[in-house]
Structure 1
Amino acid sequence: MNKDLEKLSCKDIVELALLMPKKFDDLRLNNEPILNELNCTKVIIKSKKQLPGKRLSIIAYSYNWECECTITIFNLRPFHNALFAINKELIIYGKLGDFAGLLQFINPKIIKDSGEITANYLIKGVSDKEICKIKNKYLTYEALKEFNLLDEHIKLLLIMKENSQEAMKLLNSKELNECLKFVEIYHHIKRLNETYKNDILYKKIKTFDINKWLKSLPFKPTSDQINAINDIKNDLESIHHKIRIVMGDVGCGKSLVIFAAALMCYPKKVVLMAPTSVLAQQLYNEAKRLLPGFLKILHFVSSKTKLMQDELKEANFVIGTHALLWASLDDATLVMVDEQQRFGAKQRMKLKDLATNDKENPHYIEFSATPIPRTTALIHSDIYSYSFIKELPFKKEIETKLITIANSNELFNHIKSENKQNHQAIIVYPLIEESKSSSYKPLESVISFYEKNFDKVYYTHGKDKEKDNILLQFAENGNVLLSTTIVEVGISLPRLSIIVIVAPERYGLSTLHQLRGRVGRNGVKSYCYLLSKFEFSDRLIKFANTLDGFKIAEIDLENRKSGDLIDGDVQHGISFKYFDEVLDKDILYKAKEYLNKQN
């Protein structure tokens, strides 16, 4: 990256053009004073007086206004007396007020040269002059036209660089704001298209007929599952490399779609990466139970042993965790990632790259129980294809309760009542150890309380090397599990009827939704408690009132924004400076229409 652009955290010329001043300083001498506005005037100091409370009161004469004004300095320092010496001429700049009928400046800036309008970017470590110099060096009509920007937008962006007087009028205007939104989202989707090109495959895949297998299953697939399977079938039979996201709530039956995709590729190789070893083992066991015996299924745990490498060469369906990132996979036809939100974008792309050879790219599918908002899906629709599984094999009955720690006895009595019915409870804590910055007790400090008041209590966390074994023991024998968010995905717990999330205000709604989805897996009446020390925000109240993951995704988007899918550095957080994914759908449609005209 160009070092000049790197200083300003800009990846290219368009991002440089979108870098706007936070404000302008109009350092031209005002012909007349304007109250409650920033004014610039040339003065001579007539008198001064030190006041109690480290204040300095100054009487000055304004040459351009031909009248007296006062200057008040708060937090007086020794250099102020020299700066405002009697008979000294100064150019001052600041907000002008009225005090007892006199014009008054409070702590004004001293300006060396007047007559200019200067842009103020407020970027730490880079001066405004240097930023202007960089923009003047790189921003030209020809440079911006190379990115196929509209002429009307190029004109506005160049005015903001070249004409300070016009730029000051345009800043915060509707005209400029809409230009910035359009250019930003257009440039984003254009870069996405260039990053994720649909490469042509050298060989079309002839899919294996899975109809007999589907009819032999011990349950009937839902319509949404069949639709997702057909979507994948069409992808596999395309001459283009396809990237698909299959989204559905916890318990909707994404595993069946995964297995169907693997079988359709037979006898070619398919790879599935899961976020935890427990989940990988569970998927492997389910695959062995449901898929035909002729399909060679491998649970890949390490690339270090020769036996595992030999089995990898022969396998049709490989299931593993991060260990797959170090495996030889360049003969895979399809790469799948389960619970994709648990992996960084760079990890997911590394797996896809490992399965890419000189001749062809594998098809690629991500599965997620954390739905993304419709607008985000639309932004990325030219890159990703989407399948949505909204039907559930059974009705979920989950009641979400907002409860304060002061009323936690009600919760503890409910857990004991559920334990008597052979049901389980998980209590999720945000911290393992004591922290000065937290007002909540850590997991380690509450273990003795739960062991004293409940039977068959287990506890684990992400740093625990035995966590997988403990989760298995809890599944078989436990009543109460104390844990961190490692239970967000993983082992199936059909007896789980209560999940308690301590400090819910610390989590994004997607995480809360995932955690809540751990209960009610088999239609058991279940409960999710949000346990807090504080008043509940609108965000959490809205979450408690819906189980619809897609509605929750929209609420989450309003609070967290989407993240950076191009470079993979940002998993959530505001990825747009100007474009609003909730409010600016019309601008998105126009930008996509303009991009499609160019292709």
Structure 2
Amino acid sequence: MSSLETILEQSLASLKGVGPKTLQALQHLGITTIEDLLTAFPFRYDDYRPKKIAELIDQEKVTLRGVVATAPVLVHFGRKKNRLNFNLQIDDQVVLVTFFNQGYLVDKVTQGAELTVFGKWESARQQLLGMKLLSLNKKERLAGVYRSSKEIHATQLQRLVKQAFERYHLQISDLLPQNLQKKYHLLSRQQMIHDMHFPADQAAAQAAKRTAVYEEFFLFEARLQYLKQLDQQQSGLQINYDNQQLKKFISQLPFELTAAQKRSVNEICHDMHRPIHMNRLLQGDVGSGKTIVAAIAIYAAVTAGYQAALMAPTEILARQHADKLFRLFEPLGVNVSLLTGATTSGSRQRRELLQQLQKGAINVLVGTHALIQNGVEFKNLGLVITDEQHRFGVNQRQALRLKGVQPDVLALTATPIPRTLALTVYGEMDVSIINELPQGRKPVKTFWLKKTQLQQAFNFIKEQLKQGQQAYLVTPLVSESEVLDLQNAEQLSEDATKFFAPEYQVGLIHGKMKSDEKEQIMTAFTGGKIAVLVATTVIEVGVDVPKASVILILDADRFGLAQLHQLRGRVGRSSKQSYCLLVADPKTDYGRERLQTMTETTDGFVIAQRDLELRGQGDVLGNKQAGLPEFKVADPVKDLRILQTAQIDASQIVKQPDFGKTAATKPLLHYLQRQPLGFD
């Protein structure tokens, strides 16, 4: 690693004015090094170049320069509130300037003096709502507006960026190879960073952003490819499973696999049989049958003498997986055990389980993050599966892998990402996609109802209950909130009990309950004792109750599209026709569009694409949804073509035999080596 790179990696404490408090405030914004600070780009620009009145657009933020035509008037009203008014003459026109709650400016406004004011223009009143007074000698240019916090003001951040650039700009080396810079007419990295922070005009800002977007995507994709290469360089396990036993197991399943399931099984088994390390993602819509594909992979590992581990994000889901696998494998003599936080530390049951695991008597261990605790030791771990992989941080997933010696890795996700993005954003993994429902399943019929139709919805649910079916009633809140006028779980439970009881039992489950309480309720619901389950989004992922044929979601406009789709996936898990009732009176176009989309399609990939179009990257590709970092300047939706181009370019460069050995690619390799492995 060269000294140039290490200079930019040093702490911000080297800058003037950065003490322990400022250092902590910057860390809260994700800024810990000089390089972090230099790439903490503005999210928009204020234009400090004075404009003529004829050029102004209503509600636009503008800068005006003129002569103070009247003495300033300061009016106090309310508690600690004030308004400062004065007229500003610009050529032959007079404009009223108003500052709210900046009374201290009165001493800086002198009749007859020349003044430059930045603010929001109101055409109807020919008035400027002042935001700040600018110094006359201030360089007239665009000024970056930065993300800030209560602890650190945007202007302080701006000063630190300027200081860092002045001190370290000569240490900024290009990460993109020269041939790519020339091919796409991109700026040097030093020029790009300068013009992102201090652009001379809009054209310079746009050129810098174009370079920054490509570079951000390129570095992201190069990192994925680099991680993939590192992974493949390590010799993996060659799992020589018993093909005859595996075929017999599949043939004895009570249903036939879909074509997509068969394709996924073949891809996974092919990887397991090769002596390279498997790192594969199995992506399938809710109810598409990912679990049985995972079970086949587990059985393959077991026939070869290896143990398998399956880690799920919640105890409910872990227990459900364990029950399913137990039923599948018990006739075959495969030992399945469950380890969760509820398996009390130090208890006899836990000690015996861990002893059996270490001896190899347990073939398959299912659990929550309890699997990665100290003392959990496998005899011969060959396959690691994480369900809803984005729910676990990189460190947790890595900790499970380290329980074995290079075990194969299979990650499952029911979070659909549009086909146009899937291979790009999961570039470090091989991807298998299940894009069809199991045979006999019917698409869930979805209806959007107004709140005044809630009684009709309850009547419809009762008809389903009479046919031996069950229902979910979902609400966003656990208990009453003074802020949000939403139906809450406790109130909904009372209303449902009045309507359905005593003929049908109503249960309530939410995230604030203790684990054993939730377990009791879910067991009663799964077993059919509870007919109607009132729930918060604790049931969003993975809960599988085949007799549940209706889900009613109250205040459905408060949920995102992806979340609504996940909730809808709790029904439609048998050959019986199922229904999703969305109850809401949305106040916004965005809310109405989400509900309309839900009634038009049950395809998770179509919904994910629509979600991206409605929301942009946001939570769809952020940590919350897909385990990916949010990009600083790039947008995977708007800039999809650039993302796909960057992926191809990064892949070609990282795969070159002399990558990192030439002057053109050495800086890029050093950059990739400085990044932590994986994504948090």
TM-score (normalizing by structure 2) = 0.76
User: Structure 1 pair 163/40, CA: closer, same or farther in 2 (3 Å)?
Assistant: farther
1:436 Cα deviation (Å)? 1.0
Q: 1:176 to 1:213 in 2, by over 3 A?
A: same
Q: Are the counterparts in 1 of residues 505 and 532 from structure 2 also a CA contact under 8 Å?
A: yes
Match of 1:325 in 2: 372
Structure 1 counterpart of 2:567: 515
**CA apart distance, 1:271:** 0.5
Partner of 1:433: 479
- From the superposition, tell whether residues 558 and 15 of structure 1 become closer, same or farther in structure 2 (CA, over 3 Å): farther
Query: Could you tell me which of 45, 65, 71 is aligned with 1:48?
Result: 71
Matched, 1:109 2:133: yes
Alignment deviations for residues 393-436 of structure 1 (CA, whole Å, 9 cap, x no partner) = 32314210101111112111111111111111110111111111
Over 3 Å counting, the alpha-carbon distance change for 1:277 and 1:69 in structure 2 is: closer
Tell me which residue corresponds to 1:337: 386
Count of equivalent residues: 583
User: Which structure 2 segments of 5+ residues have no match?
Assistant: 1-8, 14-22, 77-82, 655-680
Q: CA deviation at 1:527?
A: 0.9
Match of 2:242 among 175, 191, 208: 208
CA contact (8 A) 1:251 1:521 kept: yes
Query: Separation in 2 of the partners of 1:446 and 1:294?
Result: 45
Distance 1:133 1:399 in 2: 60
**Distance of aligned partners of 1:49 and 1:434 in 2 relative to their CA distance in 1, 3 Å threshold:** closer
Match of 1:289 in 2: 327
Q: CA–CA distance in 1 between the matches of 2:239 and 2:623?
A: 30
Q: How does 1:112-123 map to 2 (within 5 A)?
A: 113-115=137-139, 117=141, 119-123=143-147
Q: Distance in 2 between matches of 1:477 and 1:99?
A: 66
* Range 381-390 or range 401-410, more displaced: 381-390
2: CA distance, partners of 1:588 / 1:77 = 45
Q: Is the 8 A contact 1:562 1:574 kept in 2?
A: no
Which of 182, 203, 207 aligns to 2:214? It is 182
Q: How many angstroms does 1:138 deviate by?
A: 3.4
Kindly indicate whether the alpha-carbon contact (under 8 Å) linking 2:12 and 2:32 is maintained by their aligned counterparts in 1.
Answer: no
* Mapped partners of 2:495, 2:43: distance in 1: 56
> Given that residues 69 and 104 in structure 1 are in contact (C-alpha distance below 8 angstroms), is that contact kept between their aligned partners in structure 2?
no
What secondary structure, in the 3-state scheme, does the structure 2 residue paired with 1:427 have?
A: strand
User: Does residue 1:410 correspond to 2:442, yes or no?
Assistant: no
1:95 & 1:370 partners in 2: Cα distance? 44
Q: CA deviation at 1:42?
A: 7.5
**Equivalent residue for 1:129, pick from 159, 164, 188:** 159
Task: Provide the residue aligned with 1:271 in structure 2.
Answer: 309
1:70-469 equivalence runs, <5 A: 72-73=97-98, 75=100, 79=104, 81-86=106-111, 89-94=113-118, 107=130, 109-111=133-135, 113-115=137-139, 117=141, 119-124=143-148, 125=153, 126-140=156-170, 143-146=172-175, 148=177, 150-151=180-181, 152-155=185-188, 158=191, 161=194, 167-171=200-204, 173=206, 175-195=207-227, 197-199=230-232, 200-201=234-235, 203-209=237-243, 210-266=246-302, 267-291=305-329, 293-301=332-340, 302=343, 304=346, 305-313=350-358, 314=360, 315-326=362-373, 327-329=376-378, 331-341=380-390, 343-346=391-394, 349-356=395-402, 360-391=405-436, 392-454=438-500, 455-465=504-514, 466-469=517-520
Question: Helix, strand or coil: the match of 1:467?
Answer: helix
CA distance in 1, matches of 2:509, 2:195: 60
**Identity percentage of aligned residues:** 26
Alpha-carbon deviations, 1:320-362, whole Å to 9, x = none?
2232121234842211022335x2334xx414323326x9422
**Secondary structure of 2:431 counterpart:** strand
Q: In structure 1, how many angstroms separate the alpha carbons of the residues matched to 2:106 and 2:240?
A: 87
Give RMSD over aligned pairs. Answer: 3.8
For residue 22 of structure 1, the aligned residue among 27, 44, 50 is: 44
2:522 maps to 471
CA distance in structure 1 between the aligned counterparts of 2:584 and 2:196, rounded to whole angstroms: 53
One-letter code aligned to 2:188: K
1:3/1:436 CA distance change after superposition, 3 Å: farther
- SS in structure 1 opposite 2:445? strand
C-alpha separation between the residues in 2 aligned to 1:255 and 1:441?
Answer: 34
Measure the CA separation in 2 of the matches of 1:159 and 1:448: 60
- 1:33 to 1:506, Cα distance in 2 relative to 1, 3 A: closer
Q: Secondary structure at the match of 1:281?
A: helix
Which amino acid counterpart does residue 316 of structure 1 have in structure 2?
N
Residue pair 2:97, 2:129 contacting (<8 A) in 1 also: yes
Q: Distance in 2 between matches of 1:98 and 1:362?
A: 65
Structure 2: distance between partners of 1:77 and 1:131: 27
Give the alignment partner of residue 634 of structure 2, picking from 568, 579, 583.
579
Q: Deviations over 1:91-125 (max 9, x none)?
A: 4244799999xx99774724153445463334432
**The 10-residue stretch of structure 1 (48-57 or 586-595) with the greater mean CA deviation from structure 2:** 48-57
Question: Where does structure 1 lack aligned partners over 5 or more consecutive residues?
Answer: none
Q: CA deviation at 1:90?
A: 4.4
CA contact (8 A) 2:237 2:272 kept: no
Are positions 1:592 and 2:647 aligned together? yes
Q: Distance in 2 between matches of 1:203 and 1:39?
A: 66
Cross-structure match for 2:597: 542
- Counterpart contact for 2:196–2:208, Cα < 8 Å: no
How far apart, CA to CA, are the structure 1 residues paired with 2:419 and 2:536?
30
- Relative distance call for 1:17 and 1:153 in structure 2 (3 A) is farther
**TM-score of the aligned structures, taking structure 1 as reference length:** 0.85
Q: Higher helix share goes to which structure?
A: 2
Deviations 1:277-323 (A, max 9, x none): 34333333332332362433323344643211111121222122232
TM superposition shift of 1:580: 2.9
Q: Aligned partners of 1:567 and 1:270: how far apart in 2?
A: 30
CA 1:468/1:155 → structure 2, altered by over 3 Å: closer, same or farther? same
Secondary structure of the residue aligned to 2:549 is strand
